[in-house]
Structure 1
Amino acid sequence: MALRTLSALPGFSDSIFADRFNRIDRLFSQLTGDAPVTSLPAYDLKKIDASNYLLNVSVPGWKEDELEIETVGGTLNVSGKRSENESQDEQGWIYKGIRRADFRLSFTLPEHTKVSNAKLESGILQVSIYQEIPENEKPRKIAIENTQKAIEHQA
């Protein structure tokens, strides 16, 4: 069994080049004005059935009042903004590895889509999405009529 000590300061145990992707990402983000990929929370999108979807966003340490979900036009926005009390509590930390930066995720929703509910459980924000396509817009098959009349043989 190998003994591994826990250092108060993060070391270079993985590789000296481990942070290179994050640096390049931040550089491109500064040039384009987009949020860096590393500052956005991870998410999963799952199709439950023909009309239900589930969006899971990883938000460890976030509280319900710090998160906002809104739909504007055909866009679903999920954002997080730290509370004032937490931003003042930055003293005394030796190392903070859990990222708590403000974020905003945007998703383009298909037509006739609604967010049915959302809940925060164990650091995962679950957003249920429902797509209801009206009957007049659903695909339907058109029967082809046979207009030829059968000729009967008379004897």
Structure 2
Amino acid sequence: MALRTLSALPGFSDSAFADRFNRIDRLFSQLTGDSPVASLPAYDLKKVDANNYLLNVSVPGWKEDELEIETVGGNLNISGKRAENESQDEQGWIYKGIRRSDFRLSFSLPEHARVSNAKLESGLLQLSIYQDIPESEKPRKIAIENANNVIEHHA
């Protein structure tokens, strides 16, 4: 979650206030042990149809072997850990604006949901999530019996 405000002076607000917010966020993160909001990758979640969802996580510059996806106890965990050899590549950069810090995202999966596919393409990690609700657990209408006739409710 990034803090964005509309301003008549966008250059001033971005440099003065956004930097202060990031510093405060890092300070609280050090105190609580949580990951700073700014260091977590952005994501989109889309409902494709009644049973399918698409989760896109922005991970520019990450490789497949640096990312891990796992489901544990109804939670979907996505984490990224930098390769050790990247520390040698730190020399010569004038500015590095693409965040490459380790991260961990967690999502609660709905019951009967599973990740059916994952692919990394153009800096986006795309996960297809399928939710298959058994017929026995789907909502159903119950007819109300009357002495003379049966009243049915139609969905």
TM-score (norm 1): 0.83
The answer to whether the aligner puts 1:89 opposite 2:89 as a matched pair is yes
Partners in 1 of 2:15 and 2:65 — Cα distance? 38
How far did residue 32 of structure 1 move? 1.6
C-alpha separation in 2, matches of 1:105 and 1:39? 11
Partner of 1:57: 57
Question: Which consecutive unaligned segments of at least 5 residues does structure 1 have?
Answer: 1-11, 150-155
What is the CA–CA distance in structure 2 between the aligned matches of 1:14 and 1:139, rounded to whole Å? 49
For 2:28, the equivalent position in structure 1 comes to 28
In the alignment, does 2:50 pair up with 1:69? no
Q: For residues 13 and 76 of structure 1, do their structure 2 counterparts lie closer, same or farther at Cα, with a shift above 3 Å needed?
A: closer
Runs ≥4 in structure 1, deviation > 3 angstroms? 12-18
What is aligned with 2:3? Answer: none
- Summarize the Cα distance change of 1:141–1:18 in structure 2 as closer, same or farther, 3 Å threshold: closer
Aligned to 1:99: 99
- Structure that is richer in helix per residue: 2
Structure 2, unaligned runs of 5 or more: 1-11, 150-155
> Equivalents in 2 of 1:81, 1:51: separation in Å?
31
TM score, norm. by length of structure 2 = 0.83
Structure label with greater radius of gyration = 1
For 2:115 and 2:18, the matched residues in 1 are separated by: 38
- Deviation per CA, 1:84-136, whole angstroms, max 9, x where unpaired? 11122211211111110110000011111100000111000000101111110
Q: Tell me how many residue pairs correspond in the alignment.
A: 138
Letter in 1 for 2:127: V
| Alpha-carbon distance in structure 1 between the residues aligned to 2:122 and 2:144 | 55
Distance 1:45 1:70 in 2: 17
Superposition CA RMSD, Å: 1.7
What SS is found at the alignment partner of 2:85?
helix
Alpha-carbon distance in structure 1 between the residues aligned to 2:15 and 2:105? 30
Give the CA deviation at 1:13: 10
Percent identity between matched residues is 86
